[in-house]
């Protein structure tokens, strides 16, 4: 199994870890690329527009990709503290699953992310972990899941069957 992580910030900090079966990677990449809006290099839900968002969420909800959404109020902690706590919880959970590869969307926090993973799992993590650019089409899955959940209403309802919420 492979896992893909991205974050979202809307009222509370959300870190989304989507898991997919290794055998589904090629098909999922094709399906996600087919959903990419014309002229865009990726799917980033904050920029797809109101017309395309419902279709993208509905189509992604039909894909064999499930997520754990780690939520933390960012009122009492800063964003870095929220990311550390949610990432730590996510990697502990992923270590208990049959995950062999973890890909995290790269940002200016990669070094800190690696430290959190090492601190949680020690030097011998049970999976390989890397950071990759947001053009990796499978990193669009956690973006869609987290965005739809945070949006609420009908968007959340479309994808709720794919998401397990973990409050930190």
The pLDDT, as a whole number, for residue 15 is: 97
- Per-residue model confidence as pLDDT tens for the chain (168 residues): 999 999 998 878 999 999 999 999 999 999 999 999 988 999 999 888 889 999 999 999 999 999 999 999 878 888 889 999 999 999 999 999 999 999 999 988 899 999 999 999 988 889 999 999 999 999 999 999 999 999 999 999 999 999 999 999
Q: Alpha-carbon distance 153 to 157, whole Å? A: 6
Tokens of 126: 């049970």
Decide if 2 contacts 17 (C-beta within 8 A). no
Q: Alpha-carbon distance 27 to 164, whole Å? A: 23
Any idea where the domains of the chain sit in the sequence? 2-167
In three-state secondary structure terms, 90 is helix
Q: Alpha-carbon distance 7 to 83, whole Å? A: 8
* CATH code given to domain 2-167: 3.30.420.10
Tokens of 63: 């894909």
């Amino acid at each position: 199994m492979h896992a893909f992580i991205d974050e979202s910030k809307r009222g509370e900090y959300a870190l989304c870890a989507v898991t997919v079966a290794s055998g589904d990677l090629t098909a999922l990449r094709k399906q996600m690329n087919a959903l990419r809006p014309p002229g865009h290099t990726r799917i980033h839900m904050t920029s797809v527009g109101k017309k395309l968002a419902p279709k993208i969420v509905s189509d992604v909800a039909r894909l064999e990709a499930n997520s754990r959404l780690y939520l933390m109020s960012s009122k009492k902690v800063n964003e870095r503290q929220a990311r550390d706590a949610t990432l730590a919880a996510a990697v502990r959970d992923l270590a208990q699953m049959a995950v062999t590869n973890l890909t995290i969307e790269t940002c200016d926090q990669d070094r800190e992310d690696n430290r959190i993973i090492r601190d949680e799992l020690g030097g011998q993590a049970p999976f390989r972990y890397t950071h990759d650019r947001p053009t990796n089409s499978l990193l669009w899955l956690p973006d869609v899941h987290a965005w739809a959940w945070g949006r609420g209403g009908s968007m959340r309802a479309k994808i709720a069957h794919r998401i397990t919420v973990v409050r930190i």
